[in-house]
Every structure is written in C-alpha cells, then in structure tokens.
Amino acid sequence: MSISHSLANALTGLTASARMAEVVSSNLSNVMTDGYGRRVVDLSAQQLGGRGAGVQIDGISRIIDRGVLAERRLAEAGMGFTSTHSGALSRLEAAIGMIDDAASLAGRVAALEAALTSSAVNPSNTLQLEEVLYRLQDLARAFNDDQSAISDLREEADAGIARDVDTLNTALARIETLNTDIVAARSRGADASGLMDQRQAVIDTIATIVPVREVERGNGRIALMTTGGELLIDGQAPEFGFVRSATITPGMTLSGGALSGLTRNGVPFDYANNLDGGTLGAAFRIRDETMPAAQAQLDSMARDLIERFQDPAFDPTIGGGLAGLFTDSGAAFDPADELGVAGRIAVNSAVDPENGGDLTRLRDGVGAVSPGPVGDAGQLNSWIAALTDPRILSIGGSALGVAEHAAEFATSIAMDRVRSEDSAAFAAGRYNAAREAELASGVDTDQELQLLLQIEQAYAANAKVIETADAMIRRLMEL
C-alpha cells in the first residue's frame, strides 16, 4: 500500500469519526427531548479499483421501537378518554352533591320534610309556614341548578370537541408538509431525522385526541390509520368540520339535528366507529350520552315530584289536571313534555305572598278559596305523605319516596364516577408502563459515552496514521 493511499484511508477514518462524534453529542444533548429518535452513523468499507479505500458514510439512521411507540400512543389515547370522562363525572357529582350533603337533592328533600313536620306540630305558626315555603323553593332551585350544571358540562364538552377538531386539522396539515419535506430531504441525500422527530411529536399530539396507528408508505412518508380501520391521512390532509353550539338546552341532540357531528371534507364522518377513544371521543360521549342520561334521571324525579303534589288524593282542593304545589313553569305537568322539566319546575305562586299568593294555602290546600282552621294540620300531613309515598320512576325501578329517589340518583352518579376513575387509573398505569418501555429503548447515556470513547480511540489511531505518513514523507524528502 502506498503512503498516499494510507493517508487517504486515514482521512476517511477521521471524517467518519468526526461525524460519529457529532451524532453522539446530538444523542446526549437530546436525551430528555420528547419525540427524539436516537441516531447512528451507517458506515461501510469503501472500495476503489478493487482495493480498500477507507470507510464511507452511507447515511444517518434514526432508531426507534415502532411497536413500543404504537403501544404508547394507544395507551395515551385511552388515558385521554378516561381522564376526560371521569373529570366530567366528578364535576357532575360535585354539582349534584353527595347523599349526606345538605345542599344535595336528598338533603333538601329531607329539609323540606323536616319543615313540614315542624309546621304540622303548630299549623298556626306563620314563621313555620314561611320555612316550609323557603324549603319548597330551595328544592325547586336545586332541580333548576342541577339542570344548569348538566347543560354547562355539555357546552364545555361541545367546546372541547371544537378545540380538538381545530388541533387535529392543524396537526394533519403539518404532517402533510413534513411528509413532503422528508421525502425531498431523503431524495437529495440529506439527513431527515430532525424532520422525523418533528413529525413524531405532531403524531403524538393527534394520538391524545384520537387513537391512531402509523403506516409506512416508503421513502420516509407515512400514513395514519384509526383503530377502526379508517385512513386519517394518506397524502393530502383532509379537513374535518364541526360547528360549536354556544348554548345547549336539554332538547338539543345530535340525532335531532340541533347539535353538530363531524364532517370530513364536507361529508358526514362516522366518528363513533372510527374516532372512538381519546379526548375527542370522550367529549362526544359526555355531550351525547353521559349528560343526557343524567338529565333524563333528573327530569324523571322532577316529573314525579310535580305529579305527587298535583294529585287530588294529596290535595283535595285542586281538580284533576290542575297545577299543584309544584308546577311546570306555572302549569300542570304535561306527560308529553318531560324533557327539561327539571329546569322548569317551580313552586306554585298561589302559596307565595311575593307573587300574589297566600301563605295559608300551605296549611289549607293550593286551591283553597279562603283560610281554614288555623289548628288543622291535615293538609301539612298530606304533603308529608306525598313526599314519602312509594312510587316507581321508570320501568324496572323500585317504588320509593322522593328522598330515596334523590339518594339513588346521587348514588348512581357516584358509582359511575368511581367506575370511570378506576378505568382512568388503569389507563394511566398502562400509559406509564408503555412510556417507560419507550424511554428504555431511547438514548442510553452509558452506551453513548462508551461509543464516544471508541470514537476517540479511532480518531487518535487515524491521526497517528497521518502523523506517521507525514514523517515518512519528510524522511523521503530529506534523502
């Protein structure tokens, strides 16, 4: 081997060692960077005229475990779904109140029953009758407030859908751009690893919103597919559409056309089978299923309360079909209009002096035309009987009094919240395990430092070859 050939080989070794040192330093500096894929320099022996001509750099490879990455993304979508859903149920439970909470429906029913009992002991006491009126109004307000809380949660979920759709559209457009940039970079022989890191971070953003799987399309380009088998992007980014509703009332539903679903490029998109999971699926579940179910339970209790007190068996002073002590916006309850009655329930103005009524009608009956005997507690005892009369709210339900129905409602919400939190804890554990596995397959600082020592030795060896060749050439020049 000639001196010049040895010198050329050593120079390729120095170039390769310098490039490897640069890549190792990049790995070490990004050890804590999310989405960063470990780089390695691809080397191969260089041949020239059938003789060894040193080493050549074939490119930079980005090392990631695609299986672990896919599992982590699915776990992250699951965690986003369960945490969003359990958070909404926790807020609903806080608004409705626990069974032993005096501000809950059950607590306010108990307070009303206590006020009626105290007033029945001394029916002539006006202050006791005023306390009964206050407790009646307080119970009606509780129904109104609980319905408002449910509507607020539906509106927040609707706003969350709008935010997720905007984020999804932005992310898909960025993936389209990055796909193009990566293909262009690789076609001209440039290192596209940085662009791939950016794309991985964007896909991670999407994976929180909807569960996705990454599909290789060649030359660095990728497509995204939902777990339902629908292509989310493969080439040009689609445009998902959603129209936010500023106000949501109990009667507004997706099936009725009052609430917006998803469209893709202007065409209705079946998100339930293709995007179920992640924060987007949770928001749709909250808006269209969880909260409407709670609204239906609340309405059935409000309807039951109105019907109990407009029953002539408990108040002979009112005729059939007339409004009783509790009303539906001042009128008797219409069985064909139950949806949203929890927000319309109110105390009959006939017993409210501030609305032109007479407080004595609490003692004598809503339809009493004149005050009765001040010591007669019969009607007050009938109100108590109306509260405790066992009635069934729905098919398959138990016959209970108003307080028991309210306690059962609060219990069902609490149980749903507990189940949802259990699911959220499981999803978080699954995510943490997948995340640890992903980090374990990432940059290992010990391994990188060992490699750096080897690079240093290789660099020194190649430098020694150059130094020796230089000395040999100088000796030849001296001859």
Question: Do residues 60 and 42 make contact, with C-beta atoms less than 8 angstroms apart?
Answer: yes
60 with 75, same domain: the answer is no
> Residue 274: what pLDDT?
78
**What's the rounded Cα separation, in Å, for the pair 299 and 262?**
29
320 with 180, same domain: the answer is yes
Q: Please, what is the average pLDDT of the chain?
A: 90
148 with 21, same domain: the answer is no
> Residue 8: what pLDDT?
77
108 with 180, same domain: the answer is yes
Asked which of 397, 413, 432 is the last residue of a domain, the reply is: 432
Q: Kindly state whether residue 166 falls inside one of the protein's structural domains.
A: yes
> Residue 141: what pLDDT?
96
Pull the structure tokens for residue 346: 């109110």
> Residue 20: what pLDDT?
84
417 with 452, same domain: the answer is no
Q: Kindly state whether residue 196 falls inside one of the protein's structural domains.
A: yes
176 with 156, same domain: the answer is yes
**What's the rounded Cα separation, in Å, for the pair 117 and 111?**
10
Q: Kindly state whether residue 454 falls inside one of the protein's structural domains.
A: yes
40 with 90, same domain: the answer is no
User: CB-based contacts of 446: which residues, under 8 Å, 6+ apart?
Assistant: none
Question: Do residues 199 and 179 make contact, with C-beta atoms less than 8 angstroms apart?
Answer: yes
77 with 56, same domain: the answer is no
> Residue 127: what pLDDT?
95
Question: Do residues 193 and 37 make contact, with C-beta atoms less than 8 angstroms apart?
Answer: yes
- Spans in the chain with pLDDT lower than 70: 1, 49-50, 479
Burial 46-62 (b: 16+ CB within 10 A, else e): beeeeeeebbeeeebeb
34 with 157, same domain: the answer is no
Tally the C-alpha atoms within 13 A of residue 358's C-alpha that lie toward its C-beta: 12
Q: Kindly state whether residue 279 falls inside one of the protein's structural domains.
A: yes
123 with 219, same domain: the answer is yes
> Residue 438: what pLDDT?
82
> Residue 50: what pLDDT?
67
Q: Kindly state whether residue 452 falls inside one of the protein's structural domains.
A: yes
271 with 392, same domain: the answer is yes
**What's the rounded Cα separation, in Å, for the pair 245 and 233?**
27
Q: Kindly state whether residue 437 falls inside one of the protein's structural domains.
A: no
Torsion of CA 294, 300, 301, 305, to 10 degrees: 160
343 with 381, same domain: the answer is yes
Work out how many domains the chain is built from and give that number. Answer: 2
> Residue 327: what pLDDT?
96
Task: Provide the domain limits for residue 33.
Answer: 3-64+442-478
Encode pLDDT of 195-241 as tens digits. 998 999 999 999 999 999 999 988 889 999 988 888 899 989 999 99
